[in-house]
Each structure stands twice: as structure tokens, then as C-alpha cells.
Chains A and B, each alone.
Chain A
Amino acid sequence: MGNITWEEFVVGVRHVLAVSDSIGDGWHVRGSLEEHGGGYLAKRMDYPVAIGEPSERTAEDATIDHDSVTEPYENDPCSIDPDSSFRPVYGEFHVLYSLAHAVPTLYLRAWRRDGSCLEAQELWRGLTAAERRPSSDESERLRSLTQQEHPFLGEPWYHLHPCRTADLMDQIAGNDVDRVDAKRYFIRWMSTVAPLVGCPVSHHYASFR
């Protein structure tokens, strides 16, 4: 089975939620799973690695220093300054159901703390470096990100194009004698695809009860 129905997708999502809650992995649902194609799975990841340059600054920036602001406690003895030697990057992963391809699709985006987005190439280098995944030719291909408007948010996100997903899932299931149910399908897909773009999937998800 290379494809799954929306109902099977929901079964997979609920399984991820249940496991995620038990291990505090942070997956949650946005939108509504009750409605056909109406919701998706989301997770935030923070990376302490200093990747990418700071966003562009203009000269204007210097004029808004507000040194005139009169805060009496400018040197607040009861606070410490955050460590500025790291430039964190924040990533968000969304698992949507692709109605056209009848497969799950991974959307992702990463940004710096001021909200400026990482370009695809930085995203690549950064997220996967953080994960230190060995890369094979096949994984290189799978990682092919394209820019796509997020169906729910209407903003440009990156996604792993779903056109190969069904083939991939067929391949993975190829020698399997077990019946591949929706949960297994979903977890297999996630653990194949998500780590490629820096979103690890814990082995806990693979224990089914």
C-alpha cells in the first residue's frame, strides 16, 4: 500500500500524538481532525547551532537605538544577559495529508529569532548537520525541497514533494509479510522522511500496542 486514506492518516496522527504525549515529544494537532483534510500534525524544534548569517541590517537600524529610554534599572543586578555566542535556529515541521497524492506530506520552515527565514540551502546544511545523518543518494533525492504555499497558512513553506512518497512506501513495504496497518505506515513514513530534514523520530513510536 503506497497510499493511505484520510481516515488512515488520522489513525497515524492519533498514534503519534499518544506516543508523543507519553514521552513529551511536542507533536500536536492544528486544525481539526474531525473534518476531512481539516487538520495536521505540528512540531517545533529548536537548534542551538549557529547557522546562517544574521538577517540584513540597514543603516536605519542605528537610528532606533532608543538610548534615550530612561529605565531606572538599566543595570539590573538581578538579571544576567543571555549567552549571545549562539544564534539559535527554530524549525517547525508540519505533517499534512496530501489529498492529491493520498499520502502524508512533510512541510517545514526554519527561522532565526527575529522571524527571518532560512533559505533552502541553509536549511539543508543546518538542520541535517544538527542531526548528523549519514546521507545516501536516495536520501539526497528524498530531501529535494520545493517551495510551496502552506495550504492552511497561505505562506511559502518548504515541502518534500509527495510525488515519490507512494513509491517509497511501496519499496519499504516490499518484503514485509506483516499486514501494514495505518499506524505502521505512518511511522515508517515519518521515520524515513523526517530525519532527513533534521526532525528525529524516537524509537518509541515504533512500539505498537
Chain B
Amino acid sequence: MSLLELENITASYGHAQALHGVSLSLPAGGAVGILGANGAGKTTTLRAISGMVKTTGRILFEGKDISGLSPDRVARLGIAHVPEGRGSLPQLSVRDNLLVGAYQRRDRKQIAEDIEYCLDLFPNLRERIKSNAAALSGGEQQMLAVARAVMAKPRVMLLDEASLGLAPSTSRRVYEAILRLRREAQLSMIVVEQNAVLAFSVVDHATVLETGKVALTGDKAELMGMDAVRRAYLGG
């Protein structure tokens, strides 16, 4: 059974409909990518899961329909969303950002261990632990956003263009950490990317969105083999 299942989701901002019947399935322990051009609806799909936009259709998490729940309730169920643009808490220190991530947990000792784990995953953050998030570089803010999601001990992580605006080497470091998380933390993931190479470094399946609809879905080999996908997302 799949852990998270989107069935025929539509979503709109006011009168503008951004998703027209998107379906998607995330198996437990799996990782799927969502690829697509600017404005295709990738971010909106993640927002639909997190209850940040009005939707129709069913969103099943562990078999229960979670559509219509508020974003904080969805998060408390175990779905951690690393939003587009990182969404850090700029006036809070790196440590406080991490503690906010652990807000709904009660296991103090384990929280301290998990902070260590995050600092081990992203050594840059260790040096900046007392700085305000606002003082971090873009790459460090992205690392902090991922780490804050990890601190929630989620079952599912939703990652929205973690590479946006980062230097290629920084993007690679972020994605190496994400791959490590997938292996070590038993996280299931939905990875939104415009860069298919980065996405496929973590996911084995992907869905391609075009103007709010599913255009293609397939595994890494299938999609990478298609000329259209290569041209659009691999720069050649």
C-alpha cells in the first residue's frame, strides 16, 4: 500500500486553477520526483498535500484522507514540507530553528541527539549554530531548512527545489545529504526539481507535470531515455 496517495487533485489560487486532476503515489520508503517547467504546478502539488491551497480530490496518508486539514495539522501527522525559498525563521538562531522543527516532540534526549545528527549531516551549520538564520548564505539556509524538517522526525519529506539559486557544488552537497537521509532516516520523499540529474540522484521514479497535469510518469531509465525529457530537463 502506498504511504501517500494523491487522487485526481485540483487546486486553485482564487479563480485561477493551477492543478487539473493530478494523481501521484508515494510508496512507503520510496522517493518520487516531480519534474516540470516553471509554472507547471510542482510547488502547488506540494502545497496541496500540506493544506496550503484549496483542493478537490482525495489525499490519502496512511490510508486516511487528509485533504482540507490545516498546514500545521498535516505537519503534525508526520509530513515535513521544506518549502520553495527555504522558509527559514530569519530572526531565530540556527539552534532555535532546529528546535522549532522538533516542536511536537517530547523526547528531549533524542532531540539533542538528532541535533547532533543534523550538524553532522551539514557541518556548515555547526559553526553557525548561534547565528541568526538571516546571516546564513543561501546554501546554508537550504541546509537549515532540510535539517529543520529532519528534526520533526517525519515519515514523509516534501522537498521543493532545494537547488534553487545555489552554486552547482552546493546543490550537490545538499543532495548528497538528502540521499543520506533517505538511506539512514527511513524517510519517504517527494522531490520537486527542475534539475532532473539532481532529482534522479535521490529518486527512482518521477512524474513530469505540464500546465497542471501529469504529462509523463516513469522510472529513471525510462524518463532519461526520452528525448523530450532530456531536452527539457537535462539541458540537451
A-B complex is real: no
Partner-A contacts on B (CB < 8 A): none
Partner-B contacts on A (CB < 8 A): none
